[in-house]
Structure 1
Amino acid sequence: MSDQKFALLSKAVLLSFALVFSGSKNLNAQSLASQPYSEVPLSAIKPKGWLKDQLLTMRNGTTGHLDEVYAKVKNDNGWLGGKGDGWEETPYWLDGAVPLAYLLDDKELKDKVSKYINWTIDHQRPSGYFGPLTKDEREKNIQITPENCAAGEDWWPKMVMLKVIKQYYQATNDPRVVPFMSKYFQYQLAALKTCTLGKWTEWAQSRGTDNAMMAQWLYGITKEPSLLELASLIESQSFQWSEWLGNRDWVINAAAQQNKDKWMQRHAVNVGMALKAPSVNYQRTKDEKYLKNLKTGFNDLMHLHGLPMGIFSGDEDLHGNAPTQGVELCTIAEAMYSLEEIIAVTGDIRYMDALERMTFNALPAQTTDDYNHKQYFQIANQVQISRGVFDFSLPFDRQMNNVLGMRSGYTCCLANMHQSWTKFASHLWYATPDNGLAALEYSPNEIKLKVGASATEVTIHEVTNYPFEENIRFDFTMPKDVAFPMQLRIPDWCGEAVLSINGKELRREKGAQIVTIDRTWKSGDQLTLQLPMEVTTSNWGKNSRTIERGPLVYALKIGEKWKKENDKVEGDYYSVFPETDWNYGLIQDIVNNPAANLTVRNVKPVAGNFVWNLAHVPVEITASAKKIPNWKVVDGLARQPVTDREGIYKGDVNPEIEKITLVPYGFTKVRIVAFPVVK
């Protein structure tokens, strides 16, 4: 279709808009629920230290170069007007590459991602429809309107691209974005009457929350009532996740059934996206039942399907809490983003703590050092990475779900893994309604933002090696004194935090709360937050025990033997096998008194060129253990030994006590993290 035809807006289209929106302006004034936090501009935060190293690795790896190394995105891309990928993978990649470009202020990457955004905005159809050219447009020269919406294509990929363009707008304030989105949502409100959300695939029905969320975000800018009407319509045509999360039958059935019936309702990536559904519905309706549904659903999900590293199982279905179940990388990425949105709407610290645990434990373990290879499924107690069927609910015939490869398993994760670290970095801080700031997740960074009644620009350097150390220091720089409140999260795992200003103790606070320091800040001020990290143990599936310290869970350090291989369909991949023994049970004394029976040791500083691997482990824990000789690899897995009600394994155990070394889970590829307990 020519650009000239794109520029034509028929009288029929204008008339359809008039009919659809003639009543919208007469709706009673509506508003979204007030919320405790809002996102800061994408360009306000600059990662530092180990977090910047992680993002630079991504820029040098597939996040910065997927369009050069992955043929599906590289060749004749539909989001650039070609006939290639026109579905989810290009938007998935951009959903991480766009924030990365602006977090790093990387001109080359900005220019790269802008090509896709510019094409998408510049080639919006006169009706408001957007996206790759459809078959009917190419072959029949049909112009897509709400009346012939069937000439369009699936709603789902557009939901991801809307998230991409939203982030681009937050970084650039490009004046084209709000009219672009407004026009599309006008089209969608009209078209959904005929071309419902599920017309093409169940993916759009299962993920409609992302669409409703974007309409509500735009409403926050334009206050156009029809956007809330659209969000409500989308919700009515979507899977009813809010009701399901509040109804325990859903999560129980998901645990009990692994057949082909209703599998989209227990698909873990769908669940990860859907976690935010109750908060999005609460934002629009102000109905407190949605927050109750969210609390019930999240608690049930983690009780029935939770794994020690902070994520629920999903291989691909929700699959219980046995330590040998897998989790898809996309599930982690989407659950993290849902939690970031939930935090802003609810202000509930339980979701802040959950995000921290998931990010610092589950996430880094599932990709290679260069961020070019990933596991489709990782396993908690993972004593080898290899081809196989394992205990997954989705065993590919090629048996490639567990290996570390670029294209192993489904390639959705190759495209979607990029939003995880980048969105975490962009949600370290939130703005508060009283012109203040909230530090709700901790990592080294710098934020520059206007605060206080005077809207004075303040720069805060967050100096820390958290989560590997206890101290977080905030250094303030500003042109003049400015009064504003600053909120800090005291995690639930922290017994008592110490807050100091300019070297003098201010106060002590218990964990599981948000504290506020409201004062007039001066340039040169230093605020220090100390979060003492005690060693503890926690109980997980099959009555296993995990050792924790602060935000990190610890796993057995196992020697790694890497083997590079090739699959004719999915390309190069790596297997990883253990080079040291792994079949240990923790002695019961550790569970009874972890502080007295575990030794924490700092082994090396968190230095430049940081990577999450065994060579860079900054802290270790020494524990006493005994070998369980009958605990062996069967079908590639270390299935959990059975314990009694007291949590003790009663089978044969070697009499010798050995010292074992534990390292943070995120640094491992092969490991035991959920241990049996022995006497």
Structure 2
Amino acid sequence: MKIKWMVCCALPVVFMLPLGAQAGIKQVSPGAYTPPAYEALPLGSVKPTGWLKRQLQIMRNGATGHLDETYAKVKNDNGWLGGRGDGWEETPYWLDGALPLAYLLDDKILKEKVLRYVNWTIDHQRPSGYFGPLTRMELDSNVTIDPQHAAYGDDWWPKMVMLKVLQQYYSATGDKKVIKLMSKYFRYQTEALKIAPIGKWTEWAASRGAENVMMAQWLYSITKEDYLLELAELIEQQAYPWTSWFGNRDWVINTTTYRNNYQWMNRHAVNVAMGLKAPAVNYQRTGNKQYLQNLHTGWKDLMTIHGLPMGIFSGDEDLNGNDPTQGVELCAIVEAMYSLEQISAITGDVAYMDALEKMAFNALPTQTTDDYNARQYFQVANQLQISKGVFNFSLPFDREMCNVLGPRSGYTCCLANMHQGWTKFTTHLWYQAPDNGLAALAYGPNTMTAKVGKKEQEVSIREITDYPFNETIKFEIALKKETEFPLQLRIPQWCDTAVVLLNGQPYSKEKGGQIITIKREWKNKDILTLQLPMKIATGTWGRNSSAVERGPLVYALKIQERWEKATDTIEGDYFSVYPESNWNYGLRRVDVQHAADSMKVSMQRPVGDSFVWNLQHVPIEITAPAKKIPSWKVLNGVAYQPPTDREGIYKGKVDTVLQHITLVPYGFTKVRVVAFPVVP
């Protein structure tokens, strides 16, 4: 299943489309519904092990497991428990990560916590099908909300998040009350949208309508009721037309012009991250492949114009170009990851799976503290200082708290929403493949249990690996009886040639950028080994900078850190981090061009049970030749990129002494240089 990118050279002149306009895309009848290439496994089928389990345990012991005890909006008189307190997005955001965490770790206490909210939501659905916190009209005027009085309801947006929570609960338990609730709600919504369109209360709902569409189509995959596809089409027409924007290219050009209040919602990075899935979701409903071409065009344009070396586009909060001094919001990372997980399943395209891993292993871990209690609202690629200040972000805040590490720094949406990143990544390591097979589309240590083959025999596969820090992934298969089924493995695009071994013997060699299928009669204790040789390479990024990569990991300069704790009168305790070692280095052009020859990899320590994403636990390093650039300094907390000529070379003064610097995986750093200037 090798899928090659197609490059579009033409730049048609197209005006920005109004909401709901899907120009150039013919809508297709419900009969054209296209099942995804891969189906999600039930929540709990994948159990994390190794370093990944350690990461989830840290989350359970930190904010994910205790937000309802420490954060007032979730803790006090919560609307999702029938109170008058917060009834908007933050409680569903938290549940969207805490609920899968509870089932991934099989944690009884956390299950009891999250099920309070799930059960209240199910038990208090209105007769009309409306659900969610009691509205002000219901509380104060005893009004009954039905389709004719839909305007008495509240914003559609928070319910979209809670629908994802309920879907995951159903995936873990099979509780049919979820199907009943969703069926009633979507029938209500079908009528209510005629009176209260998707954007009636907030533009957040209009900008994120794909979340609602996706859930209606998920229910259709179970009940096969055509009204659900009609509802999905109606929501799509009332919501932001991401599919057309991604495809016609005028949108991405507009995101580079003015950072003002005009149409800022369509360049808001979190909205974009959610909107990424819209073309794939629309393709699933219609079977129209133009949607997939639009997705390809939009993703390529997005990463070309706004992409940063750690695999995510800038977004602080708006899309903000590819300069290495730009930042990205944590919410944008976890939402983009979820979109890529959905896109990967629907399309079966390796390129999106590679993008997911790069984002997960680089951008995600660096933005939270070791105990998972504090986070940055915005991280920066070349980040030489984490501190209070007004930086070149589109949302600077008068309080100057966008960049620091704290529970409440910036907006608290990320405090509530950050929990879905690792949990959903773990859930989506494996998928059900065609012919009752299995597919490993992303890699990490885990044990997976599922039913396979014509007779649906149970199989457990133990995935033993320190990936992405190690090249070898071993699959140990446990079966009660011999069973034939196809096992699919992703071979990343960055891998030139993968080696497959079966029970220690050579089986095949496979080119990168494809999904391979091994269909055979599997026996108990069979061992399949996948070797993914990782070669040091460099990529060119904003301002002609160069980043060092190896496999799915991006490497940054290892800088000693000095942490300082302080307290803000509004946002509470926070940390600043400053560099305590030299950092102003450039890479020589010859070393950038021949990185595999001039840079050396060394393993530092095993990935043990005490693993944490910090400098003290770095398992692997790269040594690289470099030269200092004396004039490159931090100015107002930012290390602005040195200028280069057309060949991408810095022509200012450079030290003559060649030094050897240490690079570590980006995710282990807090202060760093990842986008290096290139020197002669």
Please classify the TM superposition score into its range, dividing by the shorter chain length.
Answer: over 0.9
Residues 1:416 and 2:417 are matched in the alignment: yes
CA distance in 1, matches of 2:438, 2:413: 35
AA aligned opposite 2:421: S
Q: Does 1:218 align with 2:219?
A: yes
SS at 2:31's partner residue?
Answer: coil
2:257 aligns with 256
1:592 Cα offset (Å): 2.0
Specify whether residues 564 and 212 from structure 1 end up closer, same or farther in structure 2 by C-alpha distance, changes over 3 A only. same
The aligned counterpart of 2:544 is 543
Residue deviations 1:250-293, cap 9 Å, x none?
A: 01110122111000000000000000000011011111110000
Question: Are the aligned partners of 2:30 and 2:286 in contact in 1 as well (CA < 8 Å)?
Answer: no
Q: What's 1:387 paired with?
A: 388
Question: Superposed, which structure 2 residues align to 1:297-316 within 5 Å?
Answer: 297-316=298-317
Tell me whether 1:356 sits opposite 2:357 in the alignment: yes
Aligned position for 2:677: 676
Q: What does the per-residue CA deviation read over 1:494-525, in whole Å, with 9 as the maximum and x for residues that have no partner? A: 01100000000001011011111000000010
1:527-676 alignment runs, 5 A limit: 527-676=528-677
d(CA) in 2 for partners of 1:34 and 1:257? 40
Aligned-partner residue type, residue 472 of structure 1? I
- Measured after TM superposition, the shift of residue 29 of structure 1 is 6.7
Counterpart of 2:546 in 1: which secondary structure?
strand
Distance 1:29 1:417, change over 3 A: closer
Q: Could you tell me which residue of structure 1 aligns to residue 453 of structure 2?
A: 452
The answer for the alignment partner of 2:130 in structure 1 is: 129
Deviation of residue 30 (structure 1)?
Answer: 2.7
User: SS where residue 44 of structure 2 aligns?
Assistant: helix
Aligned-residue offset at 1:392: 0.5
Counterpart in 1 of 2:68? 67
Partner of 2:43: 42
What letter corresponds to residue 300 of structure 2 in structure 1? Answer: N
State the partner residue of 1:3: none
After TM superposition, the score normalised by the length of structure 2 is 0.95
Q: Tell me the residue number matched to 1:476.
A: 477
Q: Structure 1: how far apart are the matches of 2:468 and 2:461?
A: 19
Q: Is 1:442 paired with 2:465?
A: no
CA distance in 1, matches of 2:66, 2:591: 46
Give the Cα–Cα distance (whole angstroms) in 1 for the partners of residues 253 and 520 of structure 2.
49
The letter for the 2-side match of 1:272 is A
Say if 2:504 is the partner of 1:509: no
Q: Distance in 1 between matches of 2:154 and 2:594?
A: 60
Q: Is the 8 A contact 2:30 2:285 kept in 1?
A: no
Aligned CA distance change for structure 1 residues 572 and 29 (closer, same or farther; 3 Å): closer
Taking the aligned partners of 2:58 and 2:544, their CA distance within structure 1 comes to 38
Distance apart, 1:175 and its partner CA: 1.7
Q: Distance in 2 between matches of 1:209 and 1:448?
A: 31
What CA deviation, in whole Å up to 9, does each residue of 1:219-240 have, x standing for no partner? 0000111101100000000000
1:264-283 equivalences under 5 Å are 264-283=265-284
Q: Distance in 2 between matches of 1:225 and 1:550?
A: 44
Aligned to 2:431: 430
Summarize deviations over 1:466-495 as a string: whole Å, max 9, x none. 000000000000100000001100001001
SS in 2 for 1:529: strand
2:237 corresponds to: 236
Larger deviation, residues 28-37 vs 550-559: 28-37
Deviation per CA, 1:576-617: give whole Å up to 9, x if none: 000001110012221121111101100100000210000000
In structure 1, how many angstroms separate the alpha carbons of the residues matched to 2:218 and 2:206? 20
Match in the other structure for 1:493: 494
4+ long deviations beyond 6 Å: none
**Contact 2:354/2:493 (CA < 8 Å) preserved in 1?**
yes
* 1:400 has 2:407 as partner: no
Instruction: State the one-letter code of the partner of 1:118.
Output: N
Task: List per-residue Cα deviations over 1:638-667 (Å, max 9, x = no partner).
Answer: 010011122211001111111110000000
- Output one character per residue of 1:128-165: Cα deviation in whole Å (capped at 9) or x when no partner: 00000000001110000100111100000000000000
Q: 1 CA distance for matches of 2:68 and 2:44?
A: 24
Deviation string, structure 1 residues 308-341 (Cα, Å, up to 9, x no partner): 0000000000000000000000000000000000
Equivalent residue of 1:425, what SS?
A: helix
Residue 433 of structure 1 deviates from its aligned partner by 2.2
- 2:30–2:230 Cα contact (<8 Å) kept: no
Percent of paired sites with the same residue: 66
| In 2, Cα distance between equivalents of 1:28 and 1:592 | 52
**Structure 1 pair 28–385 and aligned structure 2 pair: CA distance change class (3 A):** closer
Aligned to 2:292: 291
In the alignment, residue 37 of structure 1 is paired with which amino acid? Y
Secondary structure of the residue aligned to 1:256 is: coil
- 1:154-184 CA-to-partner distances (Å, cap 9, x unmatched) read 0000000000000000000012110110000
Following superposition, the deviation at residue 432 of structure 1 comes to 1.2
- Provide the rounded CA distance (Å) in 1 between the counterparts of 2:76 and 2:172: 28
* Helix, strand or coil at the partner of 2:656: coil
Partner in structure 1 of residue 337 of structure 2: 336
**Structure 1 length-normalised TM:** 0.96
| Cα distance, 1:619 vs structure 2 | 0.4
Q: Which residue is 1:107 aligned to?
A: 108
Q: Secondary structure at the match of 2:101?
A: helix
In structure 2, what is the Cα distance between the partners aligned to 1:141 and 1:365?
48
State the secondary structure of the residue aligned to 1:215: helix
**Counterpart AA for 2:658:** I
Residues 546-592 of structure 1: per-residue CA shift (max 9 Å, x gap)? 01111100000000000000000000000000000111001222112
| Residue in structure 1 matched with residue 22 of structure 2 by the alignment | none
Per the alignment, in what secondary structure is the counterpart of residue 382 of structure 1? Answer: coil
Match of 2:56 in 1: 55
Cα distance in 1, alignment partners of residues 435 and 640 from structure 2: 52
What is the aligned residue count? 653
Contact 2:493 2:512 in 1 (8 A): yes
- 1:406-437, CA deviations, whole angstroms, 9 ceiling, x for partnerless residues? 00000000000000000000000011121000
Q: Does 1:117 align with 2:87?
A: no
Give the match's secondary structure for 1:42: coil
Q: Considering only aligned residues, what root-mean-square deviation do their CA atoms show, in Å? A: 0.9
Aligned to 1:365: 366
Residue 505 of structure 1 aligns to a residue whose secondary structure is: strand
Residue 19 of structure 2 is matched in structure 1 by none
* AA partner of residue 535 (structure 1): I
Partner residue in 2 for 1:327: 328
- SS of match in other structure, 1:124: coil
**1:35 deviation in Å?**
2.4
Residue 31 of structure 1 deviates from its aligned partner by 5.2
Contact map agreement 2:501 2:528 (CA 8 A) in 1: yes
Q: Which runs of 5+ in 2 are unaligned?
A: 1-27
Q: Secondary structure at the match of 2:217?
A: helix
Which residue identity lines up with residue 459 of structure 1 in the other structure? Answer: S
Cα distance in 2 between the residues matched to 1:574 and 1:656: 35
Counterparts of 1:501 and 1:401 in 2: how far apart (Å)?
A: 50
Q: 1:506 to 1:28 in 2, by over 3 A?
A: closer
- AA partner of residue 298 (structure 2): G
